[in-house]
Copies of this chain bind each other. A is one copy, B any other.
Amino acid sequence: MTETHELLTAAVRRLIDATIRTEVDSTAIAAATERIEAATAHLSESLLPGSFGVQTGPDGHPIAWGNVVIGIRNPVAPPLAVHHGTDGVVHTDFILGAAYEGPPGHVHGGVCAMILDHVLGATAHQPGKPAVTGTLTLRYLRGTPLGRPLRAQAHVERIEGAKTFAVGHIAGPGGITVEAEGVFIHPKRGRADG
């Protein structure tokens, strides 16, 4: 089931890219729209109310398959695979296509902010105890290219009580493109930020 669903999500990601870049005529676009509407109608025969949320996976671990950054069932997510190193460094390698564009040929600065929020926040996450963003500061050094290998990484600078201070950056073939620092908080309970 999970694998079938991942194939669906991957197919929708390719469709998103083609939707942006297609140059076929109106008749062909209308025909594609009909096919897509039929697919949506079938998938909508049974829908979760609201959003995916965080569910408990078959192995008992929390799963965030709808998450906009890492969700394997969310076609908007690249999705990032975030790795936690033994040295405390969190990192993720990725390439972003046409769907994440801001300035021509470049990743939108806001997408860089979104990724850094997630990756810096991941340094503070603990199983079943997510951290939420308190503050986040970004410095943009140069453009982040579309279609080129990128890495985002972060580490904890210090911890004070419920606050984790993290720093990190995104780098591409030309060096660091965006630097970030942030404070992430373990909420007492019932608060849902970040």
Q: A interface, by DSSP: helix, strand, loop or mixed?
A: mixed
A144's closest neighbor in chain B, by CB?
Answer: B193
Partner of A8, one of B4, B33, B39, B135: B33
Q: Is A56 an interface residue (CB 8 A)?
A: no
Structural contact, B98 and A51, CB atoms closer than 8 A: yes
Q: How far is the CA of A14 from the CA of B19 in the complex (A)?
A: 13
Structural contact, B22 and A52, CB atoms closer than 8 A: no
Partner of A45, one of B5, B24, B104: B24
Structural contact, A51 and B146, CB atoms closer than 8 A: yes
A8's closest neighbor in chain B, by CB?
Answer: B33
Q: Is A29 an interface residue (CB 8 A)?
A: yes
Structural contact, A97 and B43, CB atoms closer than 8 A: no
